[in-house]
Amino acid sequence: MQARVKALETVLTEKGLIDPAAIDAIVETYETKIGPRNGAHVVAKAWSDPAFAEWLKSDATEAIASLGYTGRQGEHMRAVFNTPKTHNLVVCTLCSCYPWSVLGLPPVWYKAPAYRSRAVIDPRGVLAEFGLTLPAEKKIRVWDSTAELRYLVIPERPVGTEGLSEQQLAGLVSRDAMIGTAIASAPGAGA
Amino acid sequence: MNGPHDLGGQMGFGLVAPEKDEPYFHDEWEKRALGLTLSCGAFGAWTIDESRHARENIPPADYLSTSYYEIWMRALEVLLDRHGFATAAEIDVGHKQTAGAVPKRVLKADMVANVLARGGPCDRPVERAARFAVGEKVRTKNFNPQTHTRLPRYARAKNGVVEAVQGSFVFPDDNAHGKGENPQWVYTVVFDGREIWGEGADPSLTVSIDAWESYLEPL
């Protein structure tokens, strides 16, 4: 595959259709600038600022843009909030739709058939494979990203986090918690 | 279309395999594949819907045995050939043979930050009012088009409830095939797990999709 991709890049460069430095810039952006810490910031702010949480519920695109997170695969955002009664899980059964602007590029498992096929029919089994066992009485809501809306799960705020700063709170939020395959970490446990 | 991409509810793919501290890329070529796909998308010659359709047209046995970025590259080669930018023969040889088509724009390095930050919003105004209201019961259509659609197979001919009216967006079933954007209303429709999966379904499960208006009928 390396050779085929190199050949394609050479052909397009010779034709003046691409700028290899632009490809470098794209890769650098997603390797170093746009990743799950954007989303963790959104979650921590939602936990510590009720007005922001309400804004997220009513217009996630604008609320998230107010923190500077906009753009490709985050043009239309929706935030879904975990509650004591309901756990949210996000999938794209048809391809790999994912909120790049807040979580960066999706992991391989999110794009792979095992997750895409089973998240909608056996979410509890899938969650168990991530080490997450939810109480039987907790309802599971699966969001299949079939249109251009991109979903961000806002996990429940862990107990014992009163008085933590926004930055400390963000440290409790893993990427998987914002997809719904994990929950936020307890203080001291690390994300 | 009923392609290999439409995976919801299929069985036999084994366990999910989360990878500890997974890197964004597992090989150098994957980085170039991402950058090439985004750079060529900037030509303005095809839409995201057409590129999704190119990926779902990969034969099932190939699609399911191919890594994700390889699927992207196979589809990109199809799109570049279809729109006259590069032929399979050129890629086989690894050099330019003909001038080829001229794109609307070429993505240069100094444009990348702005282009990524702007993205490609696909909400579009429509003049008619939304046909369905929040709380209304609806049924998804039963169809099996050979063309592109974003109504998954598992959610066809099912009864659900409109939970939200999300606005109006470009209609992928038309846009993928050069028939124009033809925007229409999109609704979040929620289904009981038992409505979709029937006997033995997890009673605590609900599943929602985002459905374009023409996927829905009043119940």
Establish, for the pair of chains A and B, how many residue pairs have beta carbons separated by less than 8 Å.
Answer: 269
B104/B44 same-domain check = yes
* Averaged pLDDT for residues B195-211: 97
Candidate from B91, B107, B117 with C-beta closest to A11:
B91
Q: Which domain-ending residue is among B57, B85, B118? A: B118
What CATH number is attached to the domain comprising B176? 2.30.30.50
What pLDDT is stored for residue A190 in this prediction?
Answer: 57
What pLDDT is stored for residue B179 in this prediction?
Answer: 97
B85/B151 same-domain check = no
Q: Which of residues 48-107 of A touch B (CB under 8 A)?
A: 70-76, 78, 91, 93-96, 101, 104-105, 107
Instruction: Please check whether residue B18 lies inside any domain of the structure.
Output: no
Q: Are A179 and A111 in contact (CB under 8 A)?
A: no
Instruction: Please check whether residue B108 lies inside any domain of the structure.
Output: yes
| pLDDT tens-digit readout, B145-173 | 999 999 999 999 999 999 999 999 999 99
What CATH number is attached to the domain comprising B107? 1.10.472.20
Which one of A9, A15, A77 would you mutate to disrupt binding with B, by most B Cβ within 10 Å of its Cβ? A15
Indicate the pairing of strand A150-154 with strand A77-81. parallel
Candidate from B8, B73, B106 with C-beta closest to A5:
B73
B171/B99 same-domain check = no
| Helix axes of B28-41 and B48-56: crossing angle, nearest 10 degrees | 130
Query: Number of folded domains in chain B?
Result: 2
User: Is B123 within 8 Å of A118 when comparing Cβ atoms?
Assistant: no
pLDDT averaged over every residue in chain A: 96
Instruction: Please check whether residue B75 lies inside any domain of the structure.
Output: yes
Candidate from B77, B96, B121 with C-beta closest to A15:
B96
| pLDDT tens-digit readout, B90-134 | 999 999 999 999 999 999 999 999 999 999 999 999 999 999 999
User: Is A27 within 8 Å of B36 when comparing Cβ atoms?
Assistant: no
Which one of B204, B212, B215 would you mutate to disrupt binding with A, by most A Cβ within 10 Å of its Cβ? B204
Q: Are B91 and A8 in contact (CB under 8 A)?
A: yes
What pLDDT is stored for residue A189 in this prediction?
Answer: 73
What pLDDT is stored for residue B69 in this prediction?
Answer: 97
* Residue B207, pLDDT above cutoff 60: yes
Instruction: Please check whether residue B77 lies inside any domain of the structure.
Output: yes
User: Is A72 within 8 Å of B155 when comparing Cβ atoms?
Assistant: no
- Cα separation, B143 vs B149, whole angstroms: 10
What residues make up the domain containing B37?
28-118
B84/B147 same-domain check = no
Instruction: Please check whether residue B103 lies inside any domain of the structure.
Output: yes
Residue A141 sits at the chain B interface (C-beta within 8 Å): yes
Residue A135 sits at the chain B interface (C-beta within 8 Å): no
User: Is A104 within 8 Å of B24 when comparing Cβ atoms?
Assistant: yes
Instruction: Please check whether residue B43 lies inside any domain of the structure.
Output: yes
Candidate from B91, B94, B108 with C-beta closest to A19:
B108
What pLDDT is stored for residue B20 in this prediction?
Answer: 85
For residue B168, the 8-state DSSP code is E
Residue A46 phi/psi, 5-degree rounding, is -65, -35
Instruction: Please check whether residue B12 lies inside any domain of the structure.
Output: no
CA distances from B108 to A34, B4, B23, B42 (A): 19, 35, 26, 10
Q: Which domain-ending residue is among B89, B118, B147? A: B118
Q: How far is B137 from chain A (nearest CA, A)?
A: 18
Q: Which domain-ending residue is among B118, B146, B171? A: B118
- Cα separation, A100 vs A77, whole angstroms: 11
| Nearest alpha-carbon partner for B122 in B172, B188, B78 | B172
What pLDDT is stored for residue A22 in this prediction?
Answer: 98
| pLDDT tens-digit readout, A67-92 | 999 999 999 999 999 999 999 999 99
User: Is B27 within 8 Å of A4 when comparing Cβ atoms?
Assistant: no
B194/B151 same-domain check = yes
Indicate the pairing of strand B184-192 with strand B205-212. antiparallel
User: Is A34 within 8 Å of B26 when comparing Cβ atoms?
Assistant: no
B112/B179 same-domain check = no
Instruction: Please check whether residue B82 lies inside any domain of the structure.
Output: yes
Candidate from A71, A118, A149 with C-beta closest to B166:
A149
* Averaged pLDDT for residues B194-205: 97
SS3 A49: coil
What pLDDT is stored for residue A188 in this prediction?
Answer: 80
Percent of chain B at pLDDT exceeding 90: 98
Task: Name the stretches of chain A with pLDDT < 50.
Answer: none
Q: How far is A189 from chain B (nearest CA, A)?
A: 16
* Residue B72, pLDDT above cutoff 70: yes
ipTM, 2 dp: 0.97
B103/B176 same-domain check = no
B111/B36 same-domain check = yes
Active site residues of A: 92, 95-97
* Averaged pLDDT for residues B196-217: 97
B193/B143 same-domain check = yes
B142/B206 same-domain check = yes
B33/B114 same-domain check = yes
Which one of B116, B149, B191 would you mutate to disrupt binding with A, by most A Cβ within 10 Å of its Cβ? B116
For residue B123, the 8-state DSSP code is B
pLDDT averaged over every residue in chain B: 97
B97/B52 same-domain check = yes
What pLDDT is stored for residue A83 in this prediction?
Answer: 98
